Amino acid sequence: MKRRYVVLDVFTSRPLEGNPLAVVLDADDLDTGQMQRIAREFNLSETVFVRRAVHPAHSAEIRIFTPGRELPFAGHPTVGAAALLAEERFGDVAAAIDAVVVLEEKVGVVRAAVRLDPNRPTFAEFDAPRLPREVAGELPPKGAIADALGLDAADIGFENHVPTHFEAGVPFAFVPVCDLDAIRRARLDVPTWKRACGKGEALPVYVYCRETLHHDSTFHARMFDVGFGIGEDPATGSAAAAFAGVVTRFDLPTKGGHPHCIEQGFEMGRPSLIDLTLEIDGRELTAVRIGGTAVRVAEGTIDVSRATTSDA
């Protein structure tokens, strides 16, 4: 029982950069335990399993797994799966065309616009299925956050930005730091972070600053995992979607569209660029879009005949 798979690098136009993603096609007869075991075998930050859509007008149902657990939604799997499914549908194109891919995810239906171009990597952009909301509860004090990240308390915060937590399907703790030097020095000690959180949930930590490496970027970020089984993530689209809530709260954008480019993964040698667009009406955030390019780097088949659920 073999299944075809494709590995893509997402949020980059160059192979062996960005965030790698495995996509397993024709996964209808795989159960949850089998999918989890296969995700552990690939051992990438996420693996996507493509299944027939429940609604006939939709493109596919996708299930998203880290090596440790299933996620209701994630950004780079959505971008990568949309790009791949459009390429699979249209093949090699002679001229640039636009396509729409509609994905059924645990979080809900996600619509993605895909640009296929024979001269450029495939670009996909999706509407976030949920607007970000602030998570209830308090984060640890600034000193405790700094200790967990191996930083000084003076490194935490810039301008009016303070630590907070938001979610747009997956919750994250957002920690602003003063500059690139601080973000490079950051290392999350998970036991210290869990002790600091006490009885509260120890969320993955998204560290960001205003200083950037590229003049056309808006923020530089790193995402440290707690519970996903990946350590640090090169590019985190679900965090970028939730980060729209942080930007709206602290930067108070005016009415209209506000495009941002987020740098991530540079400290890992996996430079990634995530497009984030906020739509503001009055002072309210009304829509969030996440986009990026994806390139194929490998494909083949995986034998799943022994992927039983006995030890999943």
78-130 pLDDT, tens per residue?
Answer: 999 999 999 999 999 999 999 999 999 998 999 999 999 999 999 999 999 99
pLDDT at residue 309 in the model: 55
User: Could you report the per-residue pLDDT of 280-298, keeping only the tens digit for each?
Assistant: 999 899 999 999 999 999 9
pLDDT at residue 311 in the model: 47
Percent of the chain with pLDDT over 90: 88
Q: What is the rounded distance in angstroms from the CA atom of residue 170 to the CA atom of residue 176?
A: 19
Q: What is the rounded distance in angstroms from the CA atom of residue 198 to the CA atom of residue 178?
A: 26
Pairing of strands 219-224, 256-264: parallel
Pairing of strands 171-176, 272-281: unpaired
DSSP run (H or E) holding 199: none
Which pair of tokens denotes residue 95? 């001229």
- Check the CA dihedral 168-173-178-181 and report its sign: negative
Which pair of tokens denotes residue 240? 């970028």
* Catalytically active residues, by annotation: 46
pLDDT category of residue 312 using cuts at 50, 70 and 90: very low
DSSP run (H or E) holding 98: strand 97-105
User: Could you report the per-residue pLDDT of 22-64, keeping only the tens digit for each?
Assistant: 999 999 999 999 999 999 999 998 999 999 999 999 999 999 9
Q: CA torsion 200→105→188→230, rounded to 10°? A: 130
Domains of the chain (ranges, CATH numbers): 2-128+294-303 (3.10.310.10), 133-290 (3.10.310.10)
Phi, psi (degrees; rounded to nearest 5) at 153: -60, -30
User: Could you report the per-residue pLDDT of 205-260, keeping only the tens digit for each?
Assistant: 999 999 999 999 999 999 999 877 778 999 999 999 999 999 999 999 999 999 99
pLDDT at residue 173 in the model: 97
